[in-house]
Structure 1
Amino acid sequence: MESGLGRNRQSLDWRPGLGLLGRASQPTIRALSACFLPAGAVGTPLHRQVAHKVARKISLMPVFVAAPILVLTLLFELSARLRFGCAAGRLDGPRRAVLAGLWRRAPLGLLRDLVTVHERLTSFVYFEALRDVAEQGSPQP
């Protein structure tokens, strides 16, 4: 029943002011990215690479942009724990999709915007990774 996306094993050097928020958000960033990847890519090395690059792109944003994204990402994690009793990364795909859908239709625009930001960043990084694989001529991971 649990997908067990696990913790992000790749360490990311978060900029000053984002370290604690960033490290705490990484497992949830991985869980959110799983919502927007094709089903076959979830749990693969490509998924881990995409989640790491999404976190990196957030870390490179100005602090006044990145910090609210990370705080809202932690609120997404809290909502998973309150609604389903476990971490977002431990939810199976359908329950994670339900949670993302609830946030997508939330009355508060900030919650909707968080899902949109993660969806667009994940899509951008995923297709960028596919392009890189195609350019290298190696098979898709």
Structure 2
Amino acid sequence: MTREDDQDMTAAAPAPDSSTTAPTPTGPLSQLIQDAIDTGKSLRDLGKVAIDPESGERISWQYFQKLIKNPPASAPSPVQMRAIAAALGKPYRRIQEATAKQWLQYEATELAGYGDEMRIIVAHLSGQPESEKRRWRMMIEAAEKAQRESDE
């Protein structure tokens, strides 16, 4: 092998294609922030309006940057979540759900308009086999039918 052949083999690899964009964050809260940026808001814009309405505490634009680029090991506090909600114009509950999913891999579900008793029943049934869920549904429907018939 000649010296010229050796030089050809050690040539630098081509630079990566800079026209491709970096992958978007996978965490739901990071994605909500990225979505706001994609619609034209800057990190500094978000930082200006990131104020917790309850305590008046602010979070900086750098915190938003951290949440997108390299999310911290610990989830945002309730104060930080309220400030994020204010900056993104999203309900606090939506920010809580995204935070829970990103840091705890917990997907929240909600039964709007029902009290704690109903939530406890549904939570209990969610872990049951389909046959048990059908049995409970039939019992509830039978009870409703009996109630309607007694009201007549």
Q: Please classify the TM superposition score into its range, dividing by the shorter chain length.
A: under 0.3
Q: TM-score when scaled to structure 2?
A: 0.23
Q: Which has the higher helix share?
A: 1
Q: Whose Rg is larger?
A: 2
